[in-house]
Amino acid sequence: MRIAVGGIEHETCGFAAPSRTAEATTLMSVARAVRYGEELHSLGDANTIVDGLVRGVRETGHEVVPLLWIDANTSPPVTRESLESAIEDLLDRLRKALPVDGVLLSLHGAFAVEGVDDADGEVLSRVRQLVGPRVPVMAVHDLHCNISPVMEKSANAMIVERTYPHVDMAERAVHAAHIMARTVAGEVRPTMAVRYLPLLWSAARMIDAEPPMSDAVRKLRELDLRPGVLSASIGVGYQWIDNPTVGTSVIVVTDNDESQARRSADELAEWVWDRRSQWQRDPLTPQSALEQGEQLGNYPIVLAEQGDNTGGGAAGDATEMLRLFIDRKLVPSAVLYMVDPEVAAQAVVAGPGTEIDILVGGKSQPLVGPPVPMRVQVRAVSNGRFTYDGPMWTGVVGEMGPSAWLEQQGVHVVVISGRHQPVDLAFCRSLGLNCRQMRYLAVKSTGHFRSGFAPIAGSIFNVDTASTLSHDFRRLPYTRLGRKMYPIDPDVRWDR
Ligand SMILES: [Zn+2]
């Protein structure tokens, strides 16, 4: 059978300052991977959703009908025209490939553009319109998805990642491809129920390796094992955008049993809702995290600066952590990564071995703190191209743009040009910087850094600094959520 495979992936951050370099942000200007048509045939090995879809379709003996794949970095909203042209291109390729027996899509689930709050729903509903009601359409989403009723109505099944860091991207996609194979063979008939919870989930409580999130994954596995259940998912939501799709959702897909889907979705939603206070965490200052870390005495102490998480759409140039390392003479230490194209260019021109005066970071907006004056030694420079080798993006090529490893008396800073978060040790290693030798590490990341850094960390703390992606939901400038949300409104009720 012929299974169409494609993807348009973007996580849209509504609260971050726009990039200072791009004129208008388009899907292409923030894309990190783009594959058209036949180019998808070369996929299958890396740990991405689309690789998993391609692999899964092949494994089940079906033909991959390649559409297109655009995988973009988290950014402020891209232009509506660029969404439209991506959808048109996808639909055009699908139209030419018809008839197909099924459609498998990778959609982040938190994609919005000006005037379209639910871009993923837009993609799904137009694909549905094109293929008609009989062809099964299934989508795989990021854990940080904001699921909508339009998505629910348009897809036969939605499958969400379970891990954070997202090490199960390909695995969940292969699972979706297997459900698709059984569906087109007439063995099963996916029937889906979705529940929407008025719940904002703290990122520090999404880490699946530790409780309480490990309990949630166990609950999902328990549901998987029930006869008749094809898939169970929790979407923890993406909170840094102001629109009515924001929030937690649960999804259960059964084999042709609507009542079982509804009952299981209710059960899972209640399970999550009853534990709503467990998914929250109070802010933690870097100072108190350091105190706790020194008391434990396990090094390196890794401080995850979640409010300036470039992976979540922040500008990556907040300066509080760097200033703290310098002021307290916390050495050897490293800040990964400071996004500052000007300083990166300055270092590249000066070259390795030179000493330069820089004003690093603090340029995106006043909130992130002023630039830090440093006299640094340029230890290495790079064009920013490398291959991830940690468990999350294994085999994916990274493009940091012009970059440099700089040092001032034991305080190391890796300066890059694009907005990227540290996910594993590969990029630092490519520069010659050995993170294992550091006593203190500051990473501009919320959870994904764990895939590469947890194995070398003595202790890890998610800390809150003055930066864009506040994890104190009460401080986010929401006006369009359209409903009361926990924990902003602690007394909010969830009605089925
Ligand atoms: Zn995510």
Span 226-268, pLDDT tens digits: 999 999 999 999 999 999 999 999 999 999 999 999 999 999 9
pLDDT band at 21 (very low <50, low <70, confident <90, very high): low
CA of 50 to the centre of ligand 1 (A): 15
Other CB atoms closer than 10 Å to residue 458's CB: what's the count? Answer: 15
| pLDDT for residue 391 is more than 70 | yes
| pLDDT for residue 377 is more than 60 | yes
> What integer best gives the mean pLDDT of the chain?
96
CA of 166 to the centre of ligand 1 (A): 7
Interval 98-127 mean pLDDT: 97
CA of 460 to the centre of ligand 1 (A): 19
| pLDDT for residue 468 is more than 90 | no
Interval 441-450 mean pLDDT: 96
CA of 108 to the centre of ligand 1 (A): 8
Starting at the earlier edge strand, list the strands of the sheet with 157-160: 31-36, 63-72, 2-9, 102-107, 137-141, 157-160
Closest by Cα among 428, 418, 416, 431 to 343: 416
CA of 213 to the centre of ligand 1 (A): 15
CA of 142 to the centre of ligand 1 (A): 5
| pLDDT for residue 22 is more than 60 | no
* Per-residue tokens: 419: 């907005």
CA of 447 to the centre of ligand 1 (A): 9
Interval 127-154 mean pLDDT: 98
CA of 203 to the centre of ligand 1 (A): 10
| pLDDT for residue 178 is more than 90 | yes
pLDDT of residue 365: 87
CA of 135 to the centre of ligand 1 (A): 28
CA of 18 to the centre of ligand 1 (A): 20
| pLDDT for residue 410 is more than 90 | yes
Interval 278-287 mean pLDDT: 94
Residue holding tokens 């929401």? 478
Is 229 within 8 Å of 279 (Cβ atoms)? no
Q: pTM above the 0.85 mark?
A: yes
CA of 143 to the centre of ligand 1 (A): 5
CA–CA dist 259, 255 (Å, integer): 11
CA of 391 to the centre of ligand 1 (A): 15
